[in-house]
Structure 1
């Protein structure tokens, strides 16, 4: 809760900074809500500590992840239209967990149990509201005074509750006692005698001599009267009551009572019960974060900044989460009012003094709160504005995407953070799906709002060459498989371009170039068509034109990385995909691109982890399964490669391709010692129903493996039949000869036909006739 100004007084004592808010001032200047500040330059070495590569020094990435998004879209996506007063005891289910996470219910707290028996302000928190001097402190054996005058400036102070049990505020609200106290004042529980004796909360001033507190309370009343959101406490009224000492009427804000526990209380309970690492479960933390982003997005859409987000100000009651303290809320265009914030959660002071609070500083505080809730670290003293190294925190080591999201949200450069609550929520949702997929060992897919699906050519889908599928894809094919960014629906040509999906790249290029007034999306589609056609210089020119039209758009870097991957410039591609991963930590496409580049540069462990993350999260990215299988095979882990391929769903268009590779892995390799491998390969081959030529070719592969196994000491077994013949050398040779002669009929050239016939003849068993 907000406290006293720090300007004009001594440095704020560390013990007070550690437990309370404090306001800062900045000189008048332009509005903090400056669209120009939402772009950031990419520069080498500027990524998060967990990143592997450096970004491009000549590109800029916008702070926004979604092109063409407006604040109106923010409000709609975050449920800003939802409204309605909360009842005295909420009974409806909230959106907490999004249906993905089972968050433990926090029982509704009976208001009468929450009343303090001895409402006292701790001496360490007593400061003059005018000059910030220590007041009301103990002298020797004498306890500190709870009211009096500041020795430094003479301002009156009082830390005694202004209301006592039985007081009737505004002739309507009967006070039952104090609930809590903080910088802005005492919080009281009361009954509304005019409306069914419902429970309400009264919030008054801590110190009648504190001019800043009066201002903040008045501002809170104004802002709260505009707020209607299920995740924000509802203001009911504003009432006055005479000060018991001066007789001067003092204001009290009347709010709904939210009976539950703050996220800080839940965290402390977890630590008290010996919870792992003294933190809340990560999926639960993310669920809280998403709900809070809904509330903050709503405030931002109304032109308001929260300014003081922290776990103390978020209450869970049953299955709902609410922001309860709007004491620091201010308008985006307010350049005069003091800024109330809390050490450990707020941006660096020099940023506030220089440019004031902003959407990015609000989201910075969300990132800090997520970190505090999900792992234990010295967030006020050792890391007041930083995060510990990833390697030092188990949860960050395990979930790199979460680490990158936190580092983007809390980046020291404001331009490099999130600048939109919807963008942050979308990326955080993607991270949640990755976390749940790992925790529950089952995919949690969802369509991306930024990328389409993987793209496989007819040649890719028609080939069943196991050796080719087991090899790293050529650069041009790897670049073609990657998902493409979706068309921005706000683009004037979006509907027209959507009808071009059936055209080939060769047809698209002249069609797009004929556009009289090319839109940004027209230029971008031309870039992709030229890349697919292998016309890099022309693609670079088109991408440059797009970059000039849409400076800071992350898709410029995306297509640059795709071009570099297609041209075999793997180091440069890896650096750009790595930067995109940090910018879009919840998206799978950048991870897939980074994995492909890392695989080509020898970073097999990195590539394997990225492929694994993509595949375990969403089984529609089948190229990730092939990539992970390739690396496991290269590492000598044949069984693990088979396990991966066997998880490709039967409904996938690449299921047969995966089974083709799996069968080849079953029957080849120096470590084969089990007849069951061949029987399983034969059984799978019969199930996938390949066309005649592909089926014969794969059958020959199985029989070749069996023959090699028998020659290396495998035990023949006349009781076992493999692809229609006994598992003996004679039976396998006869079967293999027939397969080669069959393949010779489909040979595309005479030379190939002769090779196959020669193989058949060499395998023919020797006879006396």
Structure 2
């Protein structure tokens, strides 16, 4: 790339012809500039106004602020969309000089009287509607012509080039800032004015914008530079204009509309791309919420994608959280149902993000009619059936009860990122992450198939409920809880001692009491754990209490209750793997193999730290006689894992688990190779040798034959019996007591082939 020619700039020109540091365009003829073709690129949406379809609501109530996990100042570098987990195609920035409309018009369908709300300027008797005139109902004058002509100098500074677009609150103009520019490039800005200066709601919204929008400074939100006024050419009244940065790119709506139509249905955007957009938008909304602001009218039209950056535009509907006077703007199909009666809130902002993601990710027909305030189910949308976690995230974010939605943009972002990891892991590459909500597995459960001993018959059995309870992750201690610091220092597992210590020190909050419940479960005192858990006051939907409800029910083998409790946690935390692991184990315990398989598979493909999921998935597959798939799963347990060798032992048993008549010679040879390369001790190797040679002997006795060798023995009954005899004699030498030793010698003698010696 070619270095920027601007003095003191260390950037360089990208393929679109703009500097990656100062953002200025390369001068014509510069070697590093690759210009866009005339008229090429993508249409430009408005910089900041209410978009088409936005309507005001009568509700004027106070919302609640929430926090976001990301704040900061503007910068030129944004990084890749999707947190670096995927590559979203870059969207070229459009040359602003090619973006103006040749014939700017307001569609007749959007022409209404500002006073009475009745249609105006409509066609009649084959004649087009007037763009200027008077309402026939109340004689209010109207005009839908752009007020600024090309060449007009607004406030003596901003030279209008033309009209870019129009929205629910105003015309959008492209202008050149005469006061900022040099011989290298111009600074292009966007001006927003009112469609009709007689619209009281629109005027009030513009006045409100003057108060606080210049203070908004976030890399994913369009920047407001200035507020200026200019005489209206028709009335002479001074009209206000907002001056904001020019964002050359395409709206998410336009990107979606570019998708091909197949079988009468428009193809959605790839789900990972949709989630990546959501992950960029949510911190921007969280930034507004932290500053006591609500966006109110989020939708795909209001997000521009340019280069590898998305920008939230159309700030015309932004209002203060405590504003109970001005009109609330929103768009049918996106706006939360409670806004019309109780007003907007941070929760209703998050609702609009989820609805927008739904519109972009599947064929959401009827989203503004039949599904105005609900989602279609997985039974009608294959994507929602396939991506269960994504469906649950949308379902929580759009819950009819605002209190049941995500509590903040940061919380929704965290769960959405977890969902993205699950979606991307379907390509076979794990996307692990350290959870902020759960510990890892305390110990792997269901790994019996990886143990080597005399009881080979128990190797493929399901794990016991107690072992699942002991192995499942547990919720992380809330660092904001008063007892958090104390719990980090208490070093006792005795529940009575722990309860007394916490009580003495005055720690009686939820985390302290859950610590005691946890200690009771570990000690096996499940009845007392249940009693103490029931005594904790439940405020709202605390998923931690649901989690412990599930653990207690599982320990008492009340599998139906456990399943319901873990399902509630999954609903609350769709991006977490722990509740899915718990649901998988519970489903397996009640014999629901299909659900267990699906959940085990999702957990394991996403994060290989959950070894219990690998063994569980292999167990389900082997039980369904899909031995090859079971072995393939166990082979993905990393060699660095402490369960690598047990996984290989389990793979051996998965191969040998078939009926002798269904075993293939290649499977026996594979088992032989696996056993030989395992670095097992004498006793464990001998027991695994016994299992392998017995299976080979049964295979031969079933009438099969082959030229291969299994553990150095030819596939003949005589050789295999000699091998078994030797293995039993090795075991007898390391037996722990005389009785066991005698039994093993007897087994050696019983398998020995008949000879003359």
TM-score class normalised by the smaller sequence: 0.7 to 0.9
What is the CA-CA distance between 1:724 and the residue it aligns to?
3.8
Distance in 2 between the 1:99 and 1:333 partners?
37
Tell me which residue corresponds to 2:86. Answer: 101
Tell me which residue corresponds to 2:644. Answer: 655
Given candidates 404, 417, 431, the residue that maps to 1:416 is: 404
What is the CA-CA distance between 1:248 and the residue it aligns to?
0.9
Tell me which residue corresponds to 1:525. Answer: 515
Report 1 or 2 for greater relative contact order, CA contacts < 8 Å, sequence distance ≥ 6.
1
Aligned pair in 2 of structure 1 residues 282, 143: CA closer, same or farther (>3 Å)?
Answer: same
Distance in 2 between the 1:272 and 1:188 partners?
33
Distance in 2 between the 1:559 and 1:204 partners?
56
Given candidates 389, 411, 416, the residue that maps to 2:377 is: 389
After superposition, give the CA deviation of every residue in 1:50-99 in whole Å (9 maximum; x if it has no partner): xxxxxxxxxxxxxxxxxxxxx5xx44x22x12335xxxxx6x44441211
What is the CA-CA distance between 1:539 and the residue it aligns to?
1.1
Tell me which residue corresponds to 1:677. Answer: 667
After superposition, give the CA deviation of every residue in 1:364-412 in whole Å (9 maximum; x if it has no partner): 1001100110111221223222222212212112111111111111122
What is the CA-CA distance between 1:640 and the residue it aligns to?
1.2
1:313 and 2:344 matched: no
Given candidates 133, 140, 159, the residue that maps to 2:144 is: 159
Given candidates 341, 362, 385, the residue that maps to 2:330 is: 341
> The residue matched to 1:194 in structure 2 has which SS?
strand
1:443 and 2:430 matched: yes
Aligned pair in 2 of structure 1 residues 513, 764: CA closer, same or farther (>3 Å)?
Answer: farther
What is the CA-CA distance between 1:450 and the residue it aligns to?
0.5
Tell me which residue corresponds to 1:33. Answer: 64
Tell me which residue corresponds to 1:478. Answer: 468
> The residue matched to 1:195 in structure 2 has which SS?
strand
1:489 and 2:476 matched: no
What is the CA-CA distance between 1:516 and the residue it aligns to?
4.0
Tell me which residue corresponds to 2:348. Answer: 361
Distance in 2 between the 1:273 and 1:606 partners?
32
Aligned pair in 2 of structure 1 residues 507, 118: CA closer, same or farther (>3 Å)?
Answer: same
Tell me which residue corresponds to 2:187. Answer: 198
Could you tell me whether the CA contact under 8 Å between 1:470 and 1:626 is conserved in 2? no
Aligned pair in 2 of structure 1 residues 239, 467: CA closer, same or farther (>3 Å)?
Answer: farther
What is the CA-CA distance between 1:745 and the residue it aligns to?
4.1
Could you tell me whether the CA contact under 8 Å between 1:744 and 1:753 is conserved in 2? yes
Question: Which runs of 5 or more structure 2 residues have no equivalent in the other structure?
Answer: 1-44
> The residue matched to 1:392 in structure 2 has which SS?
coil
Aligned pair in 2 of structure 1 residues 143, 457: CA closer, same or farther (>3 Å)?
Answer: closer
Tell which deviates more after alignment, 748-757 or 584-593.
Answer: 748-757
Distance in 2 between the 1:308 and 1:452 partners?
38
1:664 and 2:653 matched: yes
Tell me which residue corresponds to 1:434. Answer: 422
What is the CA-CA distance between 1:647 and the residue it aligns to?
1.0
Distance in 1 between the 2:433 and 2:641 partners?
16
Distance in 2 between the 1:25 and 1:294 partners?
28
Could you tell me whether the CA contact under 8 Å between 1:285 and 1:374 is conserved in 2? yes
What is the CA-CA distance between 1:274 and the residue it aligns to?
9.4
Given candidates 50, 67, 73, the residue that maps to 1:82 is: 73
1:734 and 2:722 matched: yes
Distance in 1 between the 2:573 and 2:207 partners?
40
Tell me which residue corresponds to 2:29. Answer: none
Aligned pair in 2 of structure 1 residues 201, 389: CA closer, same or farther (>3 Å)?
Answer: same
Distance in 1 between the 2:251 and 2:280 partners?
14
The 5 Å alignment of 1:187-586 reads 187-196=172-181, 197-271=186-260, 277-348=266-337, 351-378=338-365, 379-438=367-426, 440-456=427-443, 463-464=451-452, 467-500=457-490, 515-548=505-538, 552-586=541-575
Tell which deviates more after alignment, 406-415 or 489-498.
Answer: 489-498
Aligned pair in 2 of structure 1 residues 506, 691: CA closer, same or farther (>3 Å)?
Answer: farther
> The residue matched to 1:321 in structure 2 has which SS?
strand
What is the CA-CA distance between 1:714 and the residue it aligns to?
2.3
Distance in 1 between the 2:126 and 2:464 partners?
81
TM-score normalised by L of structure 2: 0.88
Tell me which residue corresponds to 1:58. Answer: none
After superposition, give the CA deviation of every residue in 1:734-765 in whole Å (9 maximum; x if it has no partner): 22122223323444555544432321120122
Given candidates 694, 699, 702, the residue that maps to 2:689 is: 699
Given candidates 576, 597, 616, the residue that maps to 1:608 is: 597
> The residue matched to 1:766 in structure 2 has which SS?
coil
Aligned pair in 2 of structure 1 residues 93, 374: CA closer, same or farther (>3 Å)?
Answer: same
Could you tell me whether the CA contact under 8 Å between 1:547 and 1:553 is conserved in 2? no
Aligned pair in 2 of structure 1 residues 107, 637: CA closer, same or farther (>3 Å)?
Answer: same
> The residue matched to 2:724 in structure 1 has which SS?
helix
Question: Which runs of 5 or more structure 1 residues have no equivalent in the other structure?
Answer: 3-16, 35-70, 85-89
What is the CA-CA distance between 1:522 and the residue it aligns to?
2.4
> The residue matched to 1:151 in structure 2 has which SS?
coil
Tell me which residue corresponds to 1:134. Answer: 119
Aligned pair in 2 of structure 1 residues 324, 429: CA closer, same or farther (>3 Å)?
Answer: same
Aligned pair in 2 of structure 1 residues 437, 337: CA closer, same or farther (>3 Å)?
Answer: same
Structure 1 vs Structure 2 CA RMSD? 2.5
Aligned pair in 2 of structure 1 residues 516, 753: CA closer, same or farther (>3 Å)?
Answer: farther
What is the CA-CA distance between 1:205 and the residue it aligns to?
0.6
1:110 and 2:95 matched: yes
1:143 and 2:128 matched: yes
> The residue matched to 1:241 in structure 2 has which SS?
strand
Aligned pair in 2 of structure 1 residues 298, 93: CA closer, same or farther (>3 Å)?
Answer: closer
What is the CA-CA distance between 1:564 and the residue it aligns to?
1.0
What is the CA-CA distance between 1:208 and the residue it aligns to?
1.3
Distance in 2 between the 1:284 and 1:494 partners?
38
1:173 and 2:164 matched: no
What is the CA-CA distance between 1:604 and the residue it aligns to?
1.0
What is the CA-CA distance between 1:560 and the residue it aligns to?
0.6
Distance in 1 between the 2:265 and 2:494 partners?
55
What is the CA-CA distance between 1:705 and the residue it aligns to?
0.9
> The residue matched to 1:327 in structure 2 has which SS?
helix
Tell which deviates more after alignment, 105-114 or 253-262.
Answer: 105-114
Distance in 2 between the 1:401 and 1:701 partners?
41
What is the CA-CA distance between 1:467 and the residue it aligns to?
4.9
After superposition, give the CA deviation of every residue in 1:481-504 in whole Å (9 maximum; x if it has no partner): 111111222233334433457858
1:21 and 2:67 matched: no
What is the CA-CA distance between 1:177 and the residue it aligns to?
0.7
